Amino acid sequence: MRVSSRNSYAAANDTRPFEEQRFLGYDDDSGHDTLKHYFDNWAPADRVVMRSNMTQTLLEGVRAGLGCAVLPCFAGERDGVLRRVSVPEEMMPMTLWLVYHEDLRRSPRLRAAVDLVDTMIETNKSALDPAT
């Protein structure tokens, strides 16, 4: 499944336009290479005030008004403390993979987990791709 699952967000009370924002981004050890590369393409290095390997840390930094970060849409779109910030480069949709060992495909527990993920994605489609 391909979704535009991320946008950039700042605190709702931080009314600075993109050109005046400070930025929070993923660090080199985060495992988020695609997001880090995307972020590094548009966030001026001299205005990056924090890096983390955890999305939750970036989310809390944005909520605290430290600056703008790339965050999951399902968090940003439903958080009244955040507002979406337009960036100069649109992020390409990312592929979402759910991987498990073939021997487990008939496991009732695994089926329940897969069904839950499917339901959550379908139910939250608008938050995963706010452009729709």
The predicted pLDDT at position 2 comes to 41
Question: pLDDT digit of tens for each residue in the chain (132 aa)?
Answer: 444 457 889 999 999 988 899 999 988 776 667 778 888 888 899 999 999 988 899 999 999 999 999 888 877 888 899 999 888 777 666 666 778 899 998 899 999 999 998 888 788 777 666 554
- Identify which of 74, 70, 58, 52 has the alpha carbon closest to the alpha carbon of residue 120: 74
Which helix (H) or strand (E) segment holds residue 32: the answer is: none
Q: Can you list the domains of the chain with their CATH numbers?
A: 2-96 (3.40.190.290)
The predicted pLDDT at position 92 comes to 67
The predicted pLDDT at position 82 comes to 95
Task: Report the SS3 class of residue 80.
Answer: coil
